[in-house]
Structure 1
Amino acid sequence: SGRPVTLPEAWKRHFLDSSQLHPLLPEGTRVLVDLGSGAGFPGLVLAILGVPQVHLIESDVRKCAFLREVARVCQAPVTVHTKRIETVTGIEADVVTARALAPLTDLFAWAHPFIGSRGKCLFLKGAALDDELTATTQCWTLDAERFDSRTDPSGTILRVSHLERA
């Protein structure tokens, strides 16, 4: 399909990609941490869809300025942290999300301080998911559920619970 992707198409794809996490959130989810928020997918979208308290963690200053402006315009309940993930402390989250950020071994290490073994992770992952899961088995124990992505034929949503260091 050699034609360029238009901005509305790209936004729709990313928004849909992010919004498909909403029905997978545990009932009563109040606090969500989105790792490496970038342009706000999926964290900002989930805030707009009604998650009451969303923390967007992004180290890029320009991206954070964008996130703050979109949050202001949409009146989304977000706190933007212009920091590296591993330097953010003191947040107890029900759910940690990430999209196209890093391999699972890194995501689990970053997510665990926010959720311990009681919270859940929702990660949008690509075709390398099986290899990434295999790579985590020496360091982590967890329960994982997979859901097919509705926007990416090779994509999977991974819902992780009971995340503990092995």
Structure 2
Amino acid sequence: MAWIERTFAPTPTHWERLERFAAMLVAENGRQNLIAASTIPHLWVRHIADSAQLVAFDRVGQGLWMDLGSGPGLPGLVAAILSGRPTLLVESRKRRCEFLREVVAELGLGHVEVAEAPLERVETRAAATISARAFAPLDRLIDLSARFSTESTHWLLPKGRNAVKELASLPPAWQKVFHVEQSHTDAESRILVGRGRIVARQRGKR
């Protein structure tokens, strides 16, 4: 919480929404498996600050933030609370979408939309920022989301300790878009940060 305070200087409304979201996340976790139970004692570092740091990598960003495979709203809801930007949470699982809509309504997040569908069925639109936390293998993630990117799209992809290895496995044209940043919340984790438009591979090519 101290890192969030130093980095964002949240208003009382920001804090109220973050705290309410955290409480709703823990309560809902008793009904459906949203986060590992072992991480609940470290919720603010492991999930809230871990999500918030993506906003810190995109402080001057504007426009639509797309969070792919949003699950319980990590990092999408945290980013929406702190940035105030229009946000699209893409999630295909019905019960998770019900939870996301409940949080959006409870917190009064009128700038947040929930898309209950596989990403392949989401209407193409230009995304200023694309984030994904454990959505899909990196190459598939980029293939599926490439159509939402523009020359100015900012990519924020937490990839854990294997970030460098995963980046090296991508086609050279994709590799040039990204660089690796150190996570602020986990010394062993890395984040792939990129900017630009990516062209999806032709079907059947690897």
TM range (shorter): 0.7 to 0.9
- The counterpart of 1:36, out of the listed 69, 73, 77, is 69
- Mapped contact 2:163–2:180 kept (Cα < 8 A): no
Residue 88 (str. 1) matches residue 122 (str. 2): yes
Partner of 1:137: 171
Q: What is the letter of the counterpart of residue 51 of structure 2? A: S
Q: What is the letter of the counterpart of residue 97 of structure 1? A: S
Q: What is the letter of the counterpart of residue 186 of structure 2? A: D
CA distance in 1, matches of 2:103, 2:45: 16
Q: Secondary structure at the match of 1:106?
A: helix
Q: Which moved more, 1:113-122 or 1:67-76?
A: 113-122
- Mapped contact 2:149–2:196 kept (Cα < 8 A): no
Q: Shift of residue 110 of structure 1?
A: 2.1
CA distance in 1, matches of 2:59, 2:147: 19
Q: Which runs of 5+ in 1 are unaligned?
A: none
Partner of 1:19: 52
CA displacement, residues 49-86 of structure 1 (integer Å, 9 cap, x when unaligned): 12320000000000000001111111222100000011
Matches within 5 A, 1:1-166: 5=38, 7-25=40-58, 27-76=60-109, 77-137=111-171, 140-165=174-199
Runs ≥4 in structure 1, deviation > 6 angstroms?
none
CA distance in 1, matches of 2:188, 2:69: 22
1:36–1:117 CA distance, 2 compared to 1 (3 A): same
Which structure shows the higher strand fraction? 1
Q: Shift of residue 143 of structure 1?
A: 2.4
TM-score, with normalisation over the residues of structure 2?
Answer: 0.72
The sequence identity of aligned pairs, in percent, is: 35
CA RMSD of aligned residues (A): 2.0
TM-score, with normalisation over the residues of structure 1?
Answer: 0.87
Which structure shows the higher helix fraction? 2
CA distance in 1, matches of 2:152, 2:61: 14
Q: What is the letter of the counterpart of residue 155 of structure 2? A: C
- Mapped contact 1:125–1:158 kept (Cα < 8 A): yes
Q: Secondary structure at the match of 1:109?
A: helix
Q: Identify which of structures 1 and 2 has the higher relative contact order when contacts are C-alpha pairs closer than 8 Å and 6+ apart.
A: 1
- Mapped contact 2:72–2:100 kept (Cα < 8 A): yes
